[in-house]
Amino acid sequence: MTNERRVLVHPDKQALAASVAARFITKTVDILDDLDRANVVLTGGTIGIAVLAAVNSSPARDTIDWSRVHFWWGDERFVERDSDDRNEKQAREVLLDHLAVPAENIHPFAASDDGLTLEAAAAAYADELAAHAGDGARWPRFDITFLGVGPDGHIASLFPDRAGIRETEATVIAVTNSPKPPPERLSLTRQVLNASDRIWLVLAGADKASALGLALAGASYTEVPVAGAKGRKRTVFFVDKDAAAEVPENLISPSY
């Protein structure tokens, strides 16, 4: 398998979201032509949710057989189920609630008011991953994993110089004392994220430029976690012009 790493630059956030949405629809149709189901890992954040909203507003939205798509999350804030901070709630509002997708195809993390401790919630999601895995695997085959990137270079809820980014055994971790509020979170680990065929990192804004530049320059993933994001087949950075300010010209795809 090839493992390409590309940077695709867009003029602004609106064009970025629309472009990623269009590419997602086309790729998901292609995946479902070849496979019985698609597993997609979602992210939160302003631009991540903007992409989902753009998918929903696309006239091509229903070219996808949504009954064959399963949705997962890379991480979640451990807050109440109806909190606006939950990635799940935002994703449902802008996209999932508008699709003909069976409820059992949506796999959210537990919420803080579900009666589980943070650690038990992590274990429950690990069990959910394993239940949908095949051939003795610990997680399903992921086709597309969306990731946002923080100004500090964090992905999912794996933060620089924290134990989570170094975790190699667990599939899901409980995050306490997060440097970014809220303090308690749940996150897939790097090994699970990197098991995805395609990792699509979507980032916008000048405050992301330094982290992106460091990642592409070969920084340590323990110091700049996004540097360690590598899909099995392909890794694509979808960025706006501001976020691309420190990307070397030779890494920018000339033909998108």
| Amino acid at residue number 37 | R
Is the distance from CB of 64 to CB of 29 less than 8 angstroms?
yes
Residue 208 lies in a domain: no
> In the structure encoding, which two tokens stand for residue 40, read together?
């997609």
CATH number at residue 177: 3.40.50.1360
Residue 196 lies in a domain: no
Q: Is 136 left (phi over 0), alpha (psi -120 to 50) or beta?
A: left
Residue 109 lies in a domain: yes
pLDDT band at 251 (very low <50, low <70, confident <90, very high): confident
For 72-84, how does the pLDDT look when each residue is reduced to its tens digit (9 = 90+)?
A: 999 999 999 999 9
If you average pLDDT over residues 132-147, what whole number do you get? 94
Cβ burial, residue 220 (10 Å; 0-12/13-18/19+)? middle
CA distance 253 to 256: 7
The number of distinct structural domains making up the chain is 1
Provide, rounded to the nearest whole percent, the portion of the chain with pLDDT above 90: 93
For 162-200, how does the pLDDT look when each residue is reduced to its tens digit (9 = 90+)?
A: 999 999 999 999 999 999 999 999 999 999 999 999 999
CA distance 8 to 5: 10
Question: In the predicted model, is pLDDT for residue 1 greater than 90?
Answer: no
For 46-100, how does the pLDDT look when each residue is reduced to its tens digit (9 = 90+)?
A: 999 999 999 999 999 999 999 999 999 999 999 999 999 999 999 999 999 999 9
CA distance 65 to 48: 22
Q: Which domain holds residue 161?
A: 9-186+215-230
> In the structure encoding, which two tokens stand for residue 140, read together?
């399903």
Provide, rounded to the nearest whole percent, the portion of the chain with pLDDT above 70: 97
Question: In the predicted model, is pLDDT for residue 254 greater than 90?
Answer: no
Long-range contacts of 171-180 (CB under 8 A, 24+ apart): 171/126, 171/129, 171/130, 171/138, 171/139, 172/122, 172/123, 172/125, 172/126, 172/129, 173/122, 174/78, 174/118, 174/119, 174/121, 174/122, 175/75, 176/118, 179/152, 180/150, 180/154
pTM for this entry: 0.96
Residue 44 lies in a domain: yes
Q: In what order do the strands lie in the sheet with 234-240?
A: 4-10, 234-240, 198-203, 144-147, 38-42, 69-73
pLDDT band at 134 (very low <50, low <70, confident <90, very high): confident
Which of 148, 50, 146, 47 has the alpha carbon at shortest distance from 94? 50
pLDDT value of position 91: 98
pLDDT value of position 256: 45
CB atoms within 10 A of CB 12: 11
Residue 192 lies in a domain: no
pLDDT band at 136 (very low <50, low <70, confident <90, very high): confident
DSSP-assigned letter for residue 26 = H
> In the structure encoding, which two tokens stand for residue 131, read together?
């239940």
Residue 45 lies in a domain: yes
Residue 22 lies in a domain: yes
Higher per-residue confidence, 249 vs 207: 207
Residue 3 lies in a domain: no
Q: For all residues of the chain together, what is the average pLDDT?
A: 95
